Amino acid sequence: MNNARIHHKAFLLTNGKVLVTGGYADSDILHSAELYDPLKETWATTGSMNNPRYGHTVSVLTNGKVLVTGGHNDTDTLNSAELYDAGTETWKAISSMDKARYYHTASVLKKWKSIGYWWSWR
């Protein structure tokens, strides 16, 4: 891994690579992302997310794109969402969620649908 990080997410893509997103390093919230290729045993940087975040969810959709939602940036809980295209290694901001959330869960249903659940200790 090129950048040490905690509270990040790692997810297996349909191309067999592992996408690692965001997290926390030292005193910085990361928007960077990395790809691990298990066949070559190599790490490579890829496009950065639009928003730095940790405690977010990552869901691989049925079309192979990756949906990232919510999280925290050390100041605010986020309602933003973005899509990663593994083919172009780029991120695109999409419509925000109605409610901000972090350390939540998400499940892929069918055709671009993803649901989230927010847990709060307050």
Residue 57 lies in a domain: yes
Residue 3 lies in a domain: no
> Across the chain, what does the average pLDDT equal?
89
81: containing domain: 9-105
Confidence band, pLDDT 50/70/90 cuts, at residue 10: very high
How many structural domains does the chain have?
Answer: 1
What global pTM score does this model have?
0.85
pLDDT tens-digit profile of 65-82? 999 999 999 899 999 999
Residue 70 lies in a domain: yes
Residue 67 lies in a domain: yes
Q: 55 — alpha (psi -120 to 50), left (phi > 0) or beta?
A: left
Q: Determine the pLDDT at residue 113.
A: 52
Confidence band, pLDDT 50/70/90 cuts, at residue 46: very high
Residue 112 has pLDDT above 80, yes or no: no
Confidence band, pLDDT 50/70/90 cuts, at residue 62: confident
Judge contact between 57 and 41, C-beta under 8 A.
no
